[in-house]
Chain A
Amino acid sequence: MNGAISSNRLSLSAALVRHAVLLMTGTLILLPFVWMVSLSIKPPGEIFRASFSLWPAQLYAGENYTKALSETSLLRYMGNGVLVCAMILLSQILVCAPCAYALAKLRFPGRGLLFGLVLVGLLLPHQVLALPLFALGHQLGILNTYAALIFPYIVSPFGIFLFRQFFKTIPDDVVHAARLDGLSELAIVWRIMLPMALPAVIAFSIFSVVSHWNDLFWPLIAVRDQSLMPPPLGIMAFKNEEAGNDYGPLMAASTLVVLPLVIAFLAAQKWFVEGMTGGAVK
């Protein structure tokens, strides 16, 4: 046992205290989620009649969720989110993996410089780039399109870095054997390196999808049309329209936006923790 506090088995009372503390903090942590779901299944009358009860006297879930889906373009927002996240992830892997392979396994002049660029890219916060990227998008005439949501993220310095670190752990002999088998360098990247680096690919995919599904800053700048909005922007638009008067459907919509990642997280907790902490946890 990894006893940080006690190197022996906890006494019964200590174990009870531990559970009591964690259940209390856990309840506080979950409170916003619970309250959100609770309001999403209550009728307006019960929402505005202040009460502590989490479960409604009259179940109103059907009405609220139907309204959330029919009176807003929520499904459209979620579809946009899926499309944008998928395109970003696909292009990031297509662009980053070959570069990471070159950095990890090939010798060429400027390799150190390129890796330096990647490390500097890692520390640049994307919000700083928003102004010139907005101007670039304007020049290209792609603002207010799906392309506007995707193009700043075509390459990910973090992706290159993560893949390179993982590729370096794959023995050179594997690469040599693949070359003897007549595989091209590009084929080595796709057919040998990426499959062997599957843990890194999964961790990076989770990081990328969670970041871009949740992102509000860039979509706010890049698109105006409701039909192009990803979920965070769409739900903010819904909130501003409702001006806080129609809590039930608003909470239902919030629940639906949060739900996909929560389900995925609960199903693959370990991968999420690794992906979201950038491999700092091992």
Chain B
Amino acid sequence: MSGPLALSEASDKRSMPIEVPLQAIPLARRRALAEALAALALAGPAVFFLLVLFFLPVAAVFVIALTDWRFGANSLSFVGLSNFREVFADAGFRASLVNTVVYALIVVPGTVILGLLIALVIESGRSCRGFYRAVHFLPFMATLTAMAIAWEALLHPTIGLVNQALAAIGLPTANWLRDENMALPILAVIGIWQNLGYAMVLFLAGLKRIPQELYNAADVDGADLWIDRLRTVTLPMLGPVTMFVVIVVALRAFEAFDTVKVLTQGGPSHASEVLLYTLYRESFEYLRTGYGAAVAVVFLAIVVTLTLVQVRFMDTKVHYQ
């Protein structure tokens, strides 16, 4: 793929004055062909793997969802939408879907509001910014499986710090992860703990992009108190960033899996079962392949919808070309 492309400099129109167009055409065509061949060779491996590892599997998920295939079986037959009917008729799946939405409804506002507040407080002064940013961002890149084990120790019914502290100030304690009403909210708290640093970092970047002139103008207009500046300048200017953060955190909330797998296995009595855990268990533990594929399709539909909402809102701001 090396040789011919050394020529392609000449095919650049700017370096090619008006002269001899008749001879230039076949030459330019050959160069264009050589460039296309080089591109094919360079992009070929990526195209192959994108097709085999992303696009065929996605297509396969849709096909499997329409069949009664099971792992290991040699035959399959198409059963139409019956897997989907089964999924939506299944009280367990509906509970899982509701749990996931409830989880997201706690994690998203919690993460976005706390992330925004912490970003505002960090940005309000100059000292120790890097330190505070690092501390709050740490959970986002720490191995969640290991940190879930640490959380379990914190929440341990008898020797956990949380119950000890509650008991010390005379509040009722609980077996947090074994309590039907508490398990899901507790997992959501861990979700907020993990993601708020991420939201904070995105908000910090958004704050840096607000032009100082806007604050000066607000000053002139009599916005003397910080609350006025916050209301008239900061929050409106953070609108697009906030939209972005909400969607990204929502996507992460819908993908919650590690804490559920490590801490509750969806229990007690399915109270903390979420979509990805259902997907994993049905597909790989119960080997209900068609059912698992149908759950995967539902999950994909949710994720794609959220992403398209984001793309729509970001439309004016994103320029790929």
Q: Which residues of A contact B (CB under 8 A)?
A: 1-7, 10, 14-15, 18-19, 21-22, 25-26, 29-33, 35-36, 39, 47-48, 50-52, 94-96, 98-99, 101-103, 106-109, 111, 114-115, 117-121, 123-125, 127-136, 138, 151-152, 154-155, 157, 160, 165, 176, 179-180, 182, 184-187, 189, 210, 213-214, 216-217, 220-221, 231-233, 235-236, 239, 244, 247, 250-251, 253-255, 257-258, 261-262, 265-266, 269, 272-273, 276-277, 280-282
A31 → chain B closest CB, angstroms = 7
Complex: A129 Cα to B64 Cα, angstroms: 12
User: Between A and B, how many residue pairs show CB distances below 8 Å?
Assistant: 335
Complex: A135 Cα to B60 Cα, angstroms: 10
Complex: A231 Cα to B144 Cα, angstroms: 11
Proximity bits, B13-37, A CB within 8 Å = 1, else 0? 0000000000000000000100110
Contact pick for A21, options B3, B121, B153, CB 8 Å: B121
Contact pick for A6, options B3, B124, B283, CB 8 Å: B124
Complex: A124 Cα to B124 Cα, angstroms: 38
Interface residues of B in 117-150 (CB under 8 A from A): 118, 120-128, 130, 132-147, 149-150
Q: Are A151 and B197 in contact (CB under 8 A)?
A: no
Q: Are A5 and B146 in contact (CB under 8 A)?
A: no
Q: Are B303 and A123 in contact (CB under 8 A)?
A: yes
Contact pick for A136, options B3, B57, B134, CB 8 Å: B57
Q: Are B145 and A232 in contact (CB under 8 A)?
A: yes
Q: Are B61 and A99 in contact (CB under 8 A)?
A: no
With A125-B255, A127-B296, A265-B134: A35-B153 Cβ-Cβ less than 8 Å: yes
A133 → chain B closest CB, angstroms = 6
Q: Are B43 and A98 in contact (CB under 8 A)?
A: yes
For B147, give the chain A residue with the smallest CB separation: A32
Complex: A47 Cα to B164 Cα, angstroms: 13
Complex: A55 Cα to B55 Cα, angstroms: 53
- Interface check B207, CB cutoff 8 A: yes
Complex: A221 Cα to B283 Cα, angstroms: 10
- Interface check B186, CB cutoff 8 A: no
Interface residues of B in 211-238 (CB under 8 A from A): 212, 215-216, 219, 226, 229-230, 234
What residues of chain A lie closer than 8 Å to B61, measured between beta carbons? 128-129, 131-132
Q: Are B54 and A22 in contact (CB under 8 A)?
A: no
Complex: A210 Cα to B154 Cα, angstroms: 25
